[in-house]
Structure 1
């Protein structure tokens, strides 16, 4: 029986999160860690073939590259590289780009990420007076207003950190 030459992995994870769009034939990945990360993340992998072995080498600092040298049963090798960088954008800032606001007649619709559930939508009139407050319970919330004109909508997460502030015209 010929020895296996399969030196591939079936998955790689960084801090318990599987690398998105992983493919056994893609050998280089770029992973952005959350802003403020200083600890070297845990890297885990799984071999495609039962008789394949691998060695994970972590970087000594961030940014840096982790490598996974995979050795097939017959000695064939492949090396996967995970380039680790630290985001300069906070999670709150990245959520801001994923929140959409729509105004139609007297209704404001907010579409957001599931991570913002338990946060709040606060609406102010042009003078700064709070006219509505609504808990975010789903990824799409609708708020009916009894006003027209310019309003300011503030979206905050469950820790009350402001994620987005937008001006809308209700007509």
Structure 2
């Protein structure tokens, strides 16, 4: 890890929505706050909550496939370190409510938790999101590239986001 270990995680015994991302980015590593960049603001908008609400551990757990910034690679950040999720996820899940909704943000989380769909593309998983309810919803990563992806897939904004917002509001008590 080029910037050294600095695990970034947020959760409490009352977190009923779990966000599983790829790994903290450089800015998150510097600030220590998960999704503390433009992607966090986009994610909060998708969820229908404020940026501050997204960072309320009483409502939202934010746990990545890799807990520390993995460094740069060509075209983005390196993949999450493979030992992190198997080492820590089960320990976190034991602390969370059973009736939680887990948002699988990006292909790494989707392949890990929707193992029967490994042959599918991320887009195909997201299109079939209803098959994974009430436990999971696959989502694209809210990085700047998602704007391009959303332009090619208008059904995401029309169909998935309203259902996502409804389910999140139910879980965090704002419905």
Higher relative contact order structure (alpha carbons within 8 Å, sequence separation ≥ 6): 2
More strand by share: 1
- Higher helix proportion (structure 1 or 2): 2
Structure with greater Cα Rg: 1
TM-score computed with the length of structure 1 as normaliser: 0.22
